[in-house]
Amino acid sequence: MTLAEQSSAMGCPGCVAAPAPSQDTRLCDATLALSLPTIHCQACIATVEQALEKYPGVLHARVNLTRKQAMIDAAGDVTAAELAAVVRAAGFDAWELDPDALQETRTGNLGRDLLMRMAVAGFAAMNVMLLSVAVWSGATDATRGLFHWISAAITLPALAFSAQPFFRNAWSALRARRLNMDVPISLAIALAVATSLWETSLSGKHAYFDAALTLTFFLLAGRWLEARARSAARSAAEELTALEVPRAWKVIADEPTEVPVSELRAGDAVLVRPGSRAPVDGVVIRGTSEVDRSALTGETLPEMRRTGDAVSAGEVNLTGPLVLKATAVGTDTSLHRLAALVAVAESGRSRYTSLADKAATLYAPGVHILAALSFFGWLLWAGDMRVAANIAAAVLIITCPCALGLAVPAVTTAASGRLFGRGLLIKNATALERLAQVDTVVFDKTGTLTEGNPQLTNWHDLTADQQAMAAMLAQGSAHPLSQAVASAAREAGLEVPLADVREVPGYGTELVQGGEVMRLGRPDWLGADARGDQLAAAFQAGSQKPVVLTFSDSLRPGAEALVQQLVTMGKEVILLSGDRAAAVRSIAGRLGISRWEAAVLPDQKADFVQKLQEDGRNVLMVGDGLNDTAALASAHVSISPAQALDAARAASDIVLLGRDLTPVGEALATAMCATKRIRENFRIATVYNIVAVPLAVAGLATPLIAALAMSLSSLTVSANALRISGKSR
């Protein structure tokens, strides 16, 4: 037997097995996407890709480090949730994304479009500059004329393509009878080209073709930086939002059928499985269970729901299946009334004018007046239209906001790039500027400062036998308290055998062993005395006295450090929670927060924040629940974790991707640094204008001086912006 035969024989089992699945995958090929907020190096890429590709059904996985995403080609039966679990097992945070939202986001296209225009402007500028250098170094007469004509032939089509965004913006601004930065830009480009053509046709000395192109190139660079910085953030935020696919189980003739939530009507019977969120407001017609209201109220203690009880949209069903008769759907649900509250808060939020806008409102009219004055001044003085137009063009080119156009985007790109590396998505362009002004920080408790999942506190009160029993019972339920018992057992290194555990929806789990009934569940179910209003469960073995298990919510990593840091930075820290006083007091005590309020209703939260704002404070609100959304929208600037509900994420300016809270403190520091750099950049641009403008007005600016001054100021401003990222390393 030759090696070749051997290898083909060895290949055979694979061949036999291979065609079937590959046919399957061709039939129902799916592209899945995951968000990977914590990856940062080549080792992470390799680990994630290998872990994914080992998973059966995955054909190909590719990690995009820039966007912190993974795209996976997989067989149709593989779900993003399974793959997210695989990646988490490999040691990285992973969230599933909606692949439909990923099919080329609009922001990504915008970036590519700008890059293309920038490339055309750049290449044209290089060629024209080559010809201009010849003119500057002394070409005369026919040669100069020829060079100017060639420059014009390159410049006109290049500008017609690459300067389109400016012309379009300027036109829409003018139509709305406003002035924006693009109006002087477009005017400068158009006037520069027009006077240069005029000069060229008269075989004049000065043509500004190179200046018009370089100007366009630098300004497009600014726009592109801006678009790129936010495309990563925005696309990830969009995808996270698209994640919660609104589907529900409608019960038709006792058969649950999956339908879009929008098709549900009042009176429909809706099945809510354990672990899922109620899509409608309704009344329980079948089943008993416990619901988690923490998203709506911030309360950590689950509540009991029996037949006839009301359930609000947004509550999470925990233990048993519930069938609801819908009483309110869509925009009538309590969930949407909260969203309406957000809309009100947002309209009341004072519209913040960014530093760039402030500069533009001063700048745009100033430039126009200056150019017009020098035009008419020279017209009166020299009486020559051609000289006057030339000088007006020079003034517009020199003052054109090259440096201004780069001053802000260069800094925000550097800053948000740095923060994105630390797991923060900046959704709003002015968020960094507003963040720099913050003096008061308001936190939500559940899910923000705490993990939102309880931890068992008195594991060691149980005997070894009881521990093993409780762990066995805990395995049988998805209830957060059961999960807490199970994880305590795992941490203690207990090996828990699988057992035939029966779940009693709404009460707990039970198990018959050795003729005795073991139970783990609600304290009142077992007749135990739950102490006060604490989170508690009870465990009972046979006829023994029940043991009460107590739980507390664990702090998010970095919470303590963050509060410490904020206090040393001189910010006032306030804790505002919808939870009960006891729970809030203990968390506030652990974190050293002296000012806290408990049992706050959603609209009270918003009022509280608004009141602070009216007192002249700049409030940073950090929250995750639906009960926080109105407060998030009314605060000066807001942050929500990625695990937050989409409404909360939509209402906030910054999304925190990881579990760790420390980046929030870093964001504040970076924001202050960034605002300082932006102001410095404005100062640099102003100084440059003060030096160069008199030259232009006096008619001393040659195209060479214009080109030098423009490049110099743009480079200074960009270099200054880079100091932000330089410092971090």
Partner 1 sequence: MNVLAYLIPVSLLLGGLGLAAFVFTLKSRQYDDPEGDSRRILNDVWDTRPRPDDVRTDRPSDN
Give me the active site residues, please. 444
Q: How many Cβ atoms from other residues are within 10 Å of residue 608's Cβ?
A: 19
Total residue length of the chain: 729
CB of 50 to partner 1, least distance (A): 7
Q: Cβ(456)–Cβ(485) under 8 Å?
A: yes
From first CA to last CA, the distance across the chain in angstroms is: 61
Q: Give whichever of 162 and 638 is closer to partner 1, judged by the CB atom.
A: 162
Buried-exposed string 661-696: b where 16+ CB fall within 10 A, e elsewhere: bbbbbbbbebbbbbbebbebbbebbeebbeebbebb
Distance of alpha carbon 274 from alpha carbon 320, whole angstroms: 6
* Structure tokens given for 75: 């067989």
CB of 660 to partner 1, least distance (A): 21
Q: Give whichever of 46 and 252 is closer to partner 1, judged by the CB atom.
A: 46
Strands of 595-597's sheet in order across: 424-426, 654-656, 637-641, 619-622, 440-443, 572-576, 595-597
CB of 375 to partner 1, least distance (A): 35
Q: Give whichever of 18 and 517 is closer to partner 1, judged by the CB atom.
A: 18
Kind plus residue range of the DSSP H or E element containing 11:
helix 3-17
3-state secondary structure of 161: helix
β-pair type (654-656, 637-641): parallel
Residue type at 39 in one-letter notation: I
Of residues 402, 400, 403, 404, the one with CA closest to residue 370: 400
* Structure tokens given for 354: 């960014």
Q: Give whichever of 154 and 280 is closer to partner 1, judged by the CB atom.
A: 154
Determine whether 73 is exposed, middle or buried from the number of CB atoms within 10 Å of its CB (0-12, 13-18, 19+). middle
The owner of tokens 């790109």 is: 413
Residues forming beta bridges with residue 69, ordered by sequence position? 35, 64
Q: Give whichever of 3 and 498 is closer to partner 1, judged by the CB atom.
A: 3
Residues forming beta bridges with residue 303, ordered by sequence position? 291
Q: Give whichever of 65 and 197 is closer to partner 1, judged by the CB atom.
A: 65
Q: Cβ(396)–Cβ(707) under 8 Å?
A: no
Distance of alpha carbon 107 from alpha carbon 692, whole angstroms: 37
Distance of alpha carbon 395 from alpha carbon 191, whole angstroms: 11
The owner of tokens 């059928």 is: 257
Q: Give whichever of 70 and 441 is closer to partner 1, judged by the CB atom.
A: 70
CB of 42 to partner 1, least distance (A): 4
CB of 66 to partner 1, least distance (A): 4
* Structure tokens given for 543: 């006829």
CB of 494 to partner 1, least distance (A): 37
**What SS3 string covers 247-315?**
EEEEEECCEEEEEEHHHCCCCCEEEECCCCECCCEEEEEECCEEEECHHHHCCCCCEEECCCCEECCCC
3-state secondary structure of 521: strand
Of residues 646, 534, 578, 632, the one with CA closest to residue 298: 578
CB of 411 to partner 1, least distance (A): 20
CB of 130 to partner 1, least distance (A): 6
Q: Give whichever of 57 and 108 is closer to partner 1, judged by the CB atom.
A: 108
Q: Give whichever of 42 and 262 is closer to partner 1, judged by the CB atom.
A: 42
CB of 556 to partner 1, least distance (A): 27
CB of 82 to partner 1, least distance (A): 23
DSSP 8-state symbol, 178: -
CB of 64 to partner 1, least distance (A): 4
Distance of alpha carbon 230 from alpha carbon 38, whole angstroms: 19
Distance of alpha carbon 622 from alpha carbon 631, whole angstroms: 9
CB of 239 to partner 1, least distance (A): 15
3-state secondary structure of 216: helix
Residues that bind partner 1 (CB under 8 A): 2-4, 7, 41-42, 45-46, 49-50, 63-67, 108, 112, 115-116, 119-120, 123-124, 126-127, 130-131, 143, 146, 150, 154
Distance of alpha carbon 24 from alpha carbon 45, whole angstroms: 28
* Structure tokens given for 665: 């403190």
Helices (H), 460-579: 464-474, 480-491, 559-568
Q: Give whichever of 3 and 15 is closer to partner 1, judged by the CB atom.
A: 3
Q: Give whichever of 33 and 541 is closer to partner 1, judged by the CB atom.
A: 33
CB of 70 to partner 1, least distance (A): 10
Q: Give whichever of 123 and 352 is closer to partner 1, judged by the CB atom.
A: 123
Rounded to the nearest 10 degrees, the angle between the axes of helix 182-201 and helix 355-382 is 30
DSSP 8-state symbol, 205: S
Of residues 608, 587, 600, the one with CA closest to residue 627: 600
Distance of alpha carbon 104 from alpha carbon 516, whole angstroms: 60
3-state secondary structure of 548: strand
The owner of tokens 């004055």 is: 373
Distance of alpha carbon 240 from alpha carbon 83, whole angstroms: 16
* Structure tokens given for 654: 């910054």
Q: Give whichever of 143 and 307 is closer to partner 1, judged by the CB atom.
A: 143
